[in-house]
Amino acid sequence: EIVLTQSPGTLSLSPGERATLSCRASQNVWGRYLAWYQQKPGQAPRLLIYGASSRATGIPDRFSGSGSGTDFTLTISRLEPEDFAVYYCQQYGSSPGTFGQGTRLEIK
């Protein structure tokens, strides 16, 4: 099973700043089959990115994904107040699909 490690565990930033979230895999994620989700308190996760860099429908272009192999990044170019949430990466290139433990993005 591929283990995904997200860093940092918590990221404290201010609105308008740039956020860079990391997801590192214990083995190669074949085909760049990696997704990112956003989850706000009391809500279900929401898909942001799939295929490592493709934005889901309706996701603002301030969200971007990059990476391949074992290292992936979610970047939020300019933080809006509604972006403060928990973010999870998920690999689906190998069975079973696995999630990272999450990065909490909090307002500084």
By the criterion CB under 8 A, which residues form the site for other proteins?
30-31, 33, 35, 37, 43-47, 50-51, 56, 88, 90, 92-102
Pairwise CA distance, residues 101 & 42, whole Å: 17
Beta carbon of residue 95, minimum distance to other proteins (angstroms, whole number): 6
Q: Which is nearer to other proteins, 8 or 15 (CB)?
A: 8
Q: Which is nearer to other proteins, 19 or 89 (CB)?
A: 89
Beta carbon of residue 99, minimum distance to other proteins (angstroms, whole number): 4
The answer to whether the beta carbons of residues 76 and 62 sit under 8 Å apart is yes
Q: Which helix (H) or strand (E) holds 34?
A: strand 34-39
Q: Which is nearer to other proteins, 64 or 98 (CB)?
A: 98
Query: 83 to each of 3, 35, 39, 86, 98, how far by Cα in Å?
Result: 26, 17, 10, 9, 23
Beta carbon of residue 37, minimum distance to other proteins (angstroms, whole number): 8
Pairwise CA distance, residues 64 & 55, whole Å: 7
Beta carbon of residue 47, minimum distance to other proteins (angstroms, whole number): 4
